[in-house]
């Protein structure tokens, strides 16, 4: 009996010791987990502090792309919907070149209606490249929209007019007013009559020409320019006007009033032709 009691007591003692060791290990493990959690929290606090103080470095994203993305996020936030029209959000989404124009929309009164100086834009003997979303006129109205969004027609005509006349009194705002006041603006945009009777009203001559590469080159060889009405495609997702100003063995030179990138490369006839709905030769009858 004595041996049994001792055996039982010894076993109980071992069990108590094992329980104590187990609880001790659990407490140590809990302390390690707690310390790890505190380190993670401290790291998060440092990151948040760096971000709030402007010290956080952006990932390897192009600075221009980061700016555009930031403005897009700003526009789509609920509180910004009345500040930026939906059309501007779509414009920026389709054309990153319009970033500055879209960003400055809340400050449009600084530009709209102000005097426009084109002396740095026009060089004798060259067709000027003007953007419809230029802040100098892009915020001015054209019909129920802005020149920056719907003014490709008046801007193309302005480029042609300035090339032929070098009359710096004309600018895209005044051309848009002319087109609208003379009835060349409709719900669909600038009407095709603008390039014929409208050109005549400006002292120019415009005629419909055939979609033929040799005919187009002949017009340009004779000193004319060509306005093209474009279907959705490489230039915009809707209807659009562009101006052809010359050509060489690599293709046609384009003045696209919506995108400088398109104006910096040449376009072969095959690429352009399946997107052209109609086209007109524009001339100076005095030349």
**Architecture label for domain 141-283:** Alpha-Beta Complex (3.90)
Q: Are 278 and 155 in contact (CB under 8 A)?
A: no
Q: What residues contact residue 104 under an 8 Å CB cut-off, 6+ apart?
A: 110, 111, 135
For residue 222 the two structure tokens come to 């004779």
Q: Note the pLDDT of residue 40.
A: 41
Q: Note the pLDDT of residue 238.
A: 87
Q: Note the pLDDT of residue 63.
A: 65
Q: What residues contact residue 98 under an 8 Å CB cut-off, 6+ apart?
A: 91, 92, 133, 148
Which pTM does this prediction carry? 0.76
| Per-10-residue mean pLDDT, the chain, length 287 | 38 48 58 50 43 44 71 66 82 94 94 94 97 97 95 98 97 98 92 98 98 98 98 92 97 98 97 97 92
Total Cβ atoms within 10 A of residue 83: 12
Q: Are 148 and 172 in contact (CB under 8 A)?
A: no
Report the C-alpha gap between 161 and 46 in whole angstroms.
Answer: 60
For residue 124 the two structure tokens come to 């004798």
Q: Note the pLDDT of residue 56.
A: 41
Q: Are 109 and 100 in contact (CB under 8 A)?
A: no
Residue that has been written with the tokens 């006839």 in this structure = 269
For residue 2 the two structure tokens come to 């004595």
Q: Note the pLDDT of residue 64.
A: 72
The DSSP-derived string for the chain is -HHHHHHHHHHHHHHHHHHHHHHHHHHHHHHHHHHHHHHHHHHHHHHHHHHHTT-PPP-S--HHHHHHHHHHHHHHSGGGTTTS-HHHHHHHHH-GGGHHHHHTGGGGGGTTT-----TTT--TTS-----TT-TTTTTSEETTEEHHHH-HHHHHHHHHHHHHH--TT--HHHHHHHHHHTT-EETTEE-GGGGTHHHHHTT-EEEE--S-HHHHHHHHHTT-EEEEEE-SSSS-SS-EEEEEEEEETTEEEEE-TT-HHHHTSEE-HHHHHTTEEEEEEEE-TT-
Residue that has been written with the tokens 């004309």 in this structure = 170
Report the C-alpha gap between 44 and 91 in whole angstroms.
Answer: 38
């Amino acid at each position: 009996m004595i041996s049994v009691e001792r055996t039982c007591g010894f076993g109980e003692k071992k069990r108590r010791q094992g329980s104590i060791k187990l609880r001790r290990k659990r407490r140590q493990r809990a302390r390690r987990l707690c310390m790890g959690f505190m380190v993670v929290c401290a790291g998060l606090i440092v990151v948040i502090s760096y971000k709030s103080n402007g010290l956080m470095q952006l990932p390897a994203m192009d600075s221009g792309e980061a700016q555009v993305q930031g403005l897009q996020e700003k526009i789509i936030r609920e509180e910004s919907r009345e500040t930026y029209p939906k059309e501007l959000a779509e414009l920026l989404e389709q054309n990153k070149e319009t970033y500055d124009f879209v960003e400055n929309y809340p400050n449009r009164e600084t530009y709209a209606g102000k005097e426009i100086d084109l002396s740095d834009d026009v060089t004798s003997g060259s067709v000027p490249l003007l953007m419809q979303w230029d802040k100098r006129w892009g915020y001015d109205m054209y019909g129920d929209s802005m020149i920056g969004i719907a003014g490709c027609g008046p801007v193309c005509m302005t480029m042609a007019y300035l090339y032929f006349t070098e009359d710096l009194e004309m600018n895209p705002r005044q051309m848009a007013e002319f087109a609208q006041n003379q009835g060349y603006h409709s719900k669909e945009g600038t009407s095709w009559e603008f390039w014929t009777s409208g050109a005549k009203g400006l002292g120019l001559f415009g005629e419909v020409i055939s979609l033929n590469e040799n005919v187009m080159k002949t017009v340009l060889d004779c000193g004319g320019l060509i306005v093209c009405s474009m279907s959705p495609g490489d230039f915009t997702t809707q209807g659009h006007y562009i101006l052809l100003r010359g050509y060489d063995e690599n293709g046609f030179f384009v003045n696209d009033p919506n995108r400088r990138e398109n104006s910096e490369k040449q376009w072969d006839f095959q690429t352009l032709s399946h997107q052209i709905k109609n086209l007109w030769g524009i001339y100076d009858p005095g030349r």
